[in-house]
Amino acid sequence: MAEALAAYSGSALALGAVNTPLRHSWDFALPGNQLKTEARQRFNATLTTQEYTSGHAAPWQTLFYAVLAVVPALSLCCLYYTLRRPGLVTDLTEPQNLFALAINSPPSAQIKGSCGGGPRGRDLVVPWRVAYAPSANHYFFDEAAERPWRGKYAAEGATKARPVVDGASSYKRLSAGRGWL
């Protein structure tokens, strides 16, 4: 109801402003402050216009012509590449793809024992790559070297760390979760 009244009153106010002087004071000293006939009034108004230009207005704006040439050229290069090599590429850095790669990868001698408590120290600098087995059409993580490439762990071979034993407390907490109902 309030919206309808606001819509109707807005129209009434707009129609009431037609041919109304836009002054803050009343310049006529008439009985009852009412004009018997309409009278035109003048008021000062300033208009500022801005026009569209299809060229440059200042000398420094000629730099945009270089951008105007480079952007379509890059677009044509991208179009050529897309037409030359069609198809989609799987983003292996997306979390769901990383998870699938990790689940389907063989055990690693470099980071053995980190599955119970997560990777620590040396485990975080082990080089790896995404490998592909064409016979099984299968992607997986593979160790890129027998030891880390650089840093304080570079001289070490495969880890001698023992598996973290936490009494399966992490598993118990996750598997004993309660549902919503």
Spell out the long-range contacts of 106-109 with Cβ–Cβ below 8 A and sequence spacing 24 or more.
106/140, 108/141, 108/143, 109/143, 109/158, 109/159
- pLDDT tens digits along 109-155: 776 666 666 666 766 777 777 777 778 777 777 777 666 555 555 55
Which band of pLDDT confidence, cut at 50, 70 and 90, is reported for residue 35? Answer: confident
* pTM for this entry: 0.36
More confident residue, 124 or 75: 75
Which band of pLDDT confidence, cut at 50, 70 and 90, is reported for residue 77? Answer: very high
The helix (H) or strand (E) run that includes residue 128 is strand 128-133
21-31 average pLDDT score: 70
Q: What is the residue extent of each domain of the chain?
A: 95-159
Q: What is the pLDDT of residue 65?
A: 92
Q: What is the pLDDT of residue 20?
A: 72
Q: What is the pLDDT of residue 67?
A: 93
CB 154 within 8 A of CB 148: yes
